[in-house]
A and B are shown apart, each in its own frame.
Chain A
Amino acid sequence: MYRLSLGESSSSPREAIVAKWLKAEGQVVTAGDSIVRLETGDANLELTSAVAGTVRQIAIREGLACRVGQVLCYVGDPAEPIPAVSPVNDAPTVSARASAQESKETVQTPTTIPEEALMSPDTPSSSSSPSSSPTTGPTGQVIPILMPQAGQSMEEGTVLEWKVAEGDSISEGQVILEIETDKANMDVEAVDSGRLAKIVAQAGAIVEVKVPIAYLADNDADVEAFIAGQGMAPEAPADPSPSVTRDETPVTGAKTASSVRSSGRVKASPAARKLAAQKNIDLNRVSQGSGPGGRVLTTDLASVEAAPGSSVGGQLSKMRRAIARNLLFSKQTIPHFYAKATIEAQRLYETYGRVKSGQFQCTINDFVVAACARSVREFEPFRGQFQADETIKVFPDCNIGLAVGTDEGLTVPVVLHADRLTLDALAAEIRNIVEGARRGKMANVGQGVFTITNLGMFGVESFQAIINPPESAILAVGALREDVKVENGAIKPTRLMALTLSVDHRVIDGVVAARFLARVRELLEAPEQLL
Chain B
Amino acid sequence: MSTEYDITVIGAGPGGYVAALKAARMGARVAVVEKGHLGGACLNVGCIPSKALLASAELLHKIRAAGSMGVKVHGGIEFDWAKIQKRKDKVIRKLRGGIKGLLGAGDVHLMTGTATFKAAGTLTVTTSEGKEETIHTKNTIIATGSVPARVPGWPTDPQWVCTSDEALHWKALPKRLLIVGGGVIGCEFACMMHEYGVEVHVVEMLDGLLTGMESQLGDALEASFRQRGIRILTSAKVEGMTVGQTDVTVSVSGEAPLAVDKVLVAIGRRPNTEHLGLDAIGLAPDRGFLRVDDRMQTEVAGVYCIGDANGRCLLAHAASAQGEAAVQDALGRGEAFSLPIPSAVYTFPEVAAVGMTTREATEQGIPVKVGQFPIGYLGKAMAVGEEGGFARVVRHRDDNTLLGVHLIGHNATEIIEVATAMLTMKADTQALAKMVFAHPTLGEAVKEAAEDSFEAALHLPPREFAKVVAAVEEVSIQ
| A contact residues vs B (CB 8 Å cutoff) | 1-8, 12-15, 17, 19, 34-37, 39-51, 61-65, 69, 72, 74, 80-84, 88-89, 96-100, 103, 105, 113, 116-131, 133-134, 233-235, 237, 248-251, 292
Q: Is the CB of A126 within 8 A of B210?
A: yes
Q: Which residues of B are at the interface with A, using a C-beta cutoff of 8 A?
A: 149, 151-153, 180-186, 203-213, 215-216, 219, 237-239, 266-270, 287-289, 311-315, 343, 353, 358-359, 361-363, 365-372, 374, 390, 392, 397-398, 463-478
Q: Let me know if B269 and A118 touch, CB within 8 A.
A: yes
A129 adjacent to B474 (CB under 8 Å):
no
Query: A72 contacts which of B369, B371, B470 (Cβ < 8 Å)?
Result: B470
A123-B212, A124-B212 known; A83 and B470 CB under 8 Å? no
On whether the beta carbons of A126 and B471 are closer than 8 Å, the reply is no
The answer for the CA separation of A17 and B357 in the assembled complex, in Å, is: 12
Please give, as numbers and ranges, the residues of chain A lying within 8 Å of B269 by CB-CB distance.
Answer: 118-119, 123
Is the pair A41, B216 in contact by a Cβ cutoff of 8 Å? yes
Q: Report A-chain residues with C-beta under 8 Å of the C-beta of B312.
A: 120, 122
Partner of A2, one of B180, B369, B472: B472
A-B contact pairs, 20 of them (CB 8 A): A2-B474, A13-B215, A41-B392, A47-B467, A48-B470, A63-B366, A64-B367, A69-B471, A72-B470, A83-B475, A113-B206, A119-B149, A120-B289, A122-B312, A123-B311, A123-B314, A125-B210, A128-B180, A128-B182, A130-B205
What's the least CB distance linking B111 to chain A, in Å? 28
Given contacts A63-B367, A119-B269, contact A5 B471 (CB under 8 A): yes
Residues of A within 8 A of B313 (CB): 120, 122-124
Q: Complex Cα distance A307/B470, Å?
A: 36
A251 to B180, CA, bound (A): 43
Which of B213, B269, B362, B469 has the most C-beta atoms of chain A within 10 angstroms of its own C-beta?
A: B362
Cβ A41 vs Cβ B477 within 8 A = no
Residue numbers in A under 8 Å from B203 (CB-CB):
128
Residues of B within 8 A of A81 (CB): 477
| A68 (CB) vs chain B CBs: closest residue | B471
| B215 contact set on A, CB distance < 8 A | 13-15
A129 touches B477 (CB 8 A): no
A119 to B271, CA, bound (A): 9
Q: Cβ of B469: which chain A residues have Cβ within 8 Å of it?
A: 7, 47-50
Chain A residues in 8 Å Cβ range of B153 = 131
- Distance in angstroms between the alpha carbons of A100 and B476 in the assembled complex: 11
Contact indicator B465/A45 (Cβ below 8 Å): yes
Question: By the criterion CB–CB under 8 Å, are A122 and B475 in contact?
Answer: no
List, in ascending order, chain A residues with CB within 8 A of B289's CB: 120
Taking CB atoms, residues of chain B closer than 8 Å to A119 are 149, 267-269
| Contact with B475, one of A1, A6, A43, A123 (Cβ below 8 angstroms) | A1
**With contact pairs A42-B372, A133-B237, A234-B478 given, residues A125 and B208 touching in the complex (Cβ less than 8 Å):** no
Task: Name B214's closest neighbour in chain A (CB-CB).
Answer: A15
Alpha-carbon distance between A42 and B214 when the two chains are bound, in angstroms: 14
Q: Hey, which chain A residues are within 8 Å of B238, CB to CB? A: 128, 130
Q: Are B211 and A98 in contact (CB under 8 A)?
A: no
A128 B181 Cβ-Cβ under 8 A = yes
Most interface-central of A42, A74, A128, A249 (chain B CB within 10 A): A128
Across-interface contacts of A129 in B (CB, < 8 A): 149, 151, 205, 267-268
Query: Contacts A126-B182, A126-B204, A130-B151 given: A6-B358 contact, CB under 8 Å?
Result: no
When the two chains form their complex, are residues B472 and A117 in contact, meaning their CB atoms are under 8 A apart? no
Is the beta-carbon distance between B362 and A88 smaller than 8 angstroms?
yes
B476 to chain A, nearest CB (A): 4
Known: A124-B213, A133-B237. A62 touches B367 (CB 8 A): yes
Contact A44 B182 (CB under 8 A): no
Q: Contact check, A233 vs B478: say whether CB atoms are below 8 A apart.
A: yes
Chain B positions within 8 Å of A43 at CB level = 466
Q: Are B206 and A7 in contact (CB under 8 A)?
A: no
A65 touches B204 (CB 8 A): no
CA of A336 to CA of B390, assembled, Å = 51
Q: Which residues of A contact B213 (CB under 8 A)?
A: 124
On chain B, the residues within 8 Å of A63 by CB distance are 366-369, 397-398
Nearest CB of A to B21, in Å: 25
Given known A63-B367, A119-B269, contact A41–B390 (CB-CB < 8 A):
yes
Chain A CB count within 10 A is highest, among B182, B358, B372, for: B358
Q: Are B216 and A40 in contact (CB under 8 A)?
A: yes
Given contacts A36-B470, A119-B269, list 16 more A-B pairs with CB under 8 A: A7-B469, A7-B471, A15-B358, A15-B359, A46-B467, A50-B469, A63-B368, A69-B471, A118-B269, A123-B269, A123-B311, A124-B343, A125-B268, A126-B181, A130-B237, A133-B237
Beta-carbon contact of A65 and B362 below 8 Å? yes
Which chain A residue has the least Cβ–Cβ distance from B392? A41
| The one of A3, A4, A14, A124 that contacts B210, using a Cβ cutoff of 8 Å | A124
Residues of B within 8 A of A125 (CB): 181, 183-186, 210, 212, 268, 314
By a CB distance below 8 angstroms, the chain B residues around A17 are 358, 368-370
Nearest A residue (CB) for B312: A122
Residues of the A chain whose Cβ atoms lie less than 8 Å from the Cβ of B372: 40-42
Taking each of A8, A39, A116, A118, which has the highest tally of chain B beta carbons within 10 Å of its own beta carbon?
A118
Assess whether B472 is in contact with A1, with CB atoms less than 8 Å apart. no
Instruction: List residues of chain B with CB within 8 A of the CB of A234.
Output: 478
CB <8 Å contact, A13 and B204: no
Asked whether, in the complex, the Cβ of A250 is within 8 Å of the Cβ of B471, the reply is: no
Contacts of B477 in A (CB 8 A): 1, 74, 80-84, 248
- With a cutoff of 8 Å between Cβ atoms, the chain B residues found around residue A7 in the complex are 468-471
- How far in angstroms is the closest Cβ of chain A from B264? 13
A88 and B474 contact, CB distance less than 8 A:
no
Q: Which residue of A lies closest to B286 (CB)?
A: A120
Residues of chain A with a CB closer than 8 A to B288's CB = 118
A123 pairs with B358, CB closer than 8 A? no
Kindly state the separation between the CA atoms of A529 and B204 in the bound complex, as whole angstroms: 63
Minimum Cβ distance to chain B for residue A94 (Å): 10
The residue that B474 contacts in the complex, of A13, A62, A103, A117, with Cβ under 8 A, is: A103
> Complex: how many Å from CA A47 to CA B476?
23
Name which residue of chain A comes closest to B207, CB basis.
Answer: A14
Residue numbers in A under 8 Å from B267 (CB-CB): 118-119, 127-130
Roughly how many angstroms separate A250 CA and B474 CA in the complex, as a whole number?
Answer: 8
Determine the distance from Cα of A488 to Cα of B180 in the docked complex, in whole angstroms. 93
Interface pair B358/A12, CB less than 8 Å apart: no
Contact check, B466 vs A14: say whether CB atoms are below 8 A apart: no
Closest CB pairs A-B (n = 9): A63-B367, A125-B183, A41-B372, A128-B205, A7-B471, A120-B311, A127-B268, A100-B474, A119-B268
Closest chain-A Cβ to B447's Cβ sits at a distance in Å of 15
Please determine whether A37 and B397 come into contact, CB atoms closer than 8 angstroms. Answer: no
Q: How far is the CB of A20 from chain B (nearest CB, A)?
A: 9
The answer to whether A46 touches B474 (Cβ under 8 A) is no
Contact A118 B270 (CB under 8 A): yes
B212 with A126: CB separation less than 8 A: yes
Residues of A within 8 A of B219 (CB): 13-14
How many whole Å from A290's CB to the nearest CB in chain B?
12
The 8 Å CB contact of A128, one of B206, B311, B398, B476, is B206
Report the bound CA distance from A39 to B472 in whole Å.
20
Among residues of A, the one whose C-beta sits closest to the C-beta of B396 is A63
C-alpha spacing A64/B237, complex, angstroms: 30
Q: Are A42 and B470 in contact (CB under 8 A)?
A: no
Residue pair B464, A44 in contact (C-beta under 8 Å): yes
Give Cα distance in the complex from A119 to B182, angstroms.
13
A34 and B363 CA atoms in complex are apart in Å by 26
Q: Which residues of B contact A113 (CB under 8 A)?
A: 205-206
CB-nearest residue of chain B relative to A129? B267
CB–CB A98/B370 < 8 A: no
Chain A residues in 8 Å Cβ range of B216: 13, 15, 40-41
What separation, in Å, do the CA atoms of A14 and B215 have in the docked complex? 7
What residue in chain A is nearest B465 (Cβ atoms)? Answer: A46
- Asked whether, in the complex, the Cβ of A4 is within 8 Å of the Cβ of B470, the reply is yes
What residues on B are CB-neighbors of A103 within 8 Å? 474
Residue from the set B181, B206, B478 with the largest chain A CB neighbour count within 10 Å: B478
Report the Cα distance A125→B470, complex, angstroms. Answer: 32
Name which residue of chain A comes closest to B213, CB basis. A124
